[in-house]
Amino acid sequence: MLIKQKYAAMDFLRILAFFFIILYHFMFELEQKGIFNFKKYAGGYIYYENSNFNIAMIGVSLFFMISGAGLMLSAEKSFNIKEFYIKRFSRLLVPFYIAEVFVLIASFAIKPEWVIYFPQVPKYRTVFNLFAMDGYFERYFQTFCLHVGEWFLGALIMLYVIFPLLRFFMKKNRYVTIGVATAYYLCMVFLDVIHVTPWTNVFIKFYDFVLGMFLITEIPGLMEKKVIRRVLRYATLALIIFGVFFKPALPTPITFNNLLYAIILYIHFFSYEKMGDGEKEIGAKAKGYKIVESICRISYEIFLVHHVIIYYVGDNLAGAPIGGYQVVALFITEMIVMVGMALFIRLLEKQIYKIPFINENNICKRK
């Protein structure tokens, strides 16, 4: 089975992952600031979590899986480690720097309380901002964190650093590699090695990343037959519905449950992808895919700024309850602002890419 360079399912999953993360942060912020009680309003049936899952944790697992899969696909035929590091880290860091500067200026101008503690932070810790690690290490000690990318970006960068090594082992023997990684993950999760927020720890997210690398090499062959795709489609759909409405807590850790739900969603979306014998695909010709593709182009920039915008709105509305229709209007408004800021960042990126050295060396150029 020939593995394609791009699967439409990955774009749909990327949008779903970001939607889960943004929706969770939006709902959580409104609840924390006393603006709206989602659980009471929806009777507990429409909420961002239950006893077995949290949509943000599922979204994060999905995104790490997609990231690992995307890198594996791009490095399938040839791989130059120097070119990989230059291009990949430029693509991550250039938008981060732009957003970081913008948020820093905005913080001093309109939200000085966000940076009031900066004088107490040792100056050498600016190095964490240089490598987009300020959000990840903020949980362990004070950094100059502006909540651009947060812990997620730091963890992703660390996984990018070791990707060449992971790719080497996958190429040598992907079954042994995933077997060892799975044993490691199960020990970490079920033995409760990491007690505090394991779902935001790179030693746990490492497995999501490796799993994505593995699945993208296996799924095309697995789903080559229409009958298999359809069986998996309806089976995973049933599991998704069951997961939403099943309330008693499962005996397994919630970190494991979230990854399990992410795998189910991953397989479900890939079951719509055209892999082999005739069936309508969700690829480039699918209705609405161009919109999905356009959103994906700025999804990283949206991710960088989304929490800052949510924090800002939450701070300004704190203690002022609003109604259901107002919540919907607020969410739409915040999404529009996020998209606008993302497009602005992309515009500045394009100008940076025109710098002679960067352009001549084809560094961080994106479609």
Q: For the chain, which residues make up each domain, given as ranges?
A: 8-360
Classified as helix, coil or strand, 175 is helix
Q: Report the alpha-carbon distance of residue 137 to residue 175 in Å, rounded.
A: 33
Residue in 257, 258, 283, 287 with CA at minimum distance from that of residue 272: 283
What's the burial of 192, exposed, middle or buried (CB within 10 Å: 0-12/13-18/19+)? exposed
Predicted local distance difference test score (pLDDT) of residue 211 = 97
Helix boundaries (H) for 111-149: 126-130, 134-137
Q: How far apart are CA 3 and CA 274, in angstroms?
A: 12
Q: Which residues contact 150 (CB under 8 A, 6 or more apart)?
A: 135, 136, 307
SS3 of the chain: helix, strand, coil, percent, to 5: 70, 0, 30
| Cβ–Cβ under 8 Å, residues 271 and 233 | yes
Cβ-contact 25, 310 below 8 angstroms: yes
Look at phi and psi of residue 362 and say left if phi exceeds 0, alpha if psi is from -120 to 50, else beta. Answer: left
**Residue 142, CA distances (Å) to 90, 99, 303 in order:** 26, 20, 23
Query: DSSP state, 54?
Result: B
Per-residue pLDDT of the chain (367 residues; tens, 9 = 90+): 445 667 888 999 999 999 999 999 999 999 889 898 887 776 555 578 877 888 999 999 999 999 999 999 988 877 889 889 988 898 999 999 999 999 999 999 988 888 898 999 999 999 999 999 999 999 889 999 999 988 999 999 999 999 999 999 999 999 999 999 999 999 999 998 887 788 889 999 999 999 999 999 998 788 888 888 899 999 999 998 888 877 778 889 989 999 999 999 999 999 888 655 444 455 555 667 788 888 999 999 999 999 999 999 999 998 888 888 899 999 999 999 999 999 999 999 888 877 766 654 555 555 4
Enter the pTM of the model. Answer: 0.90
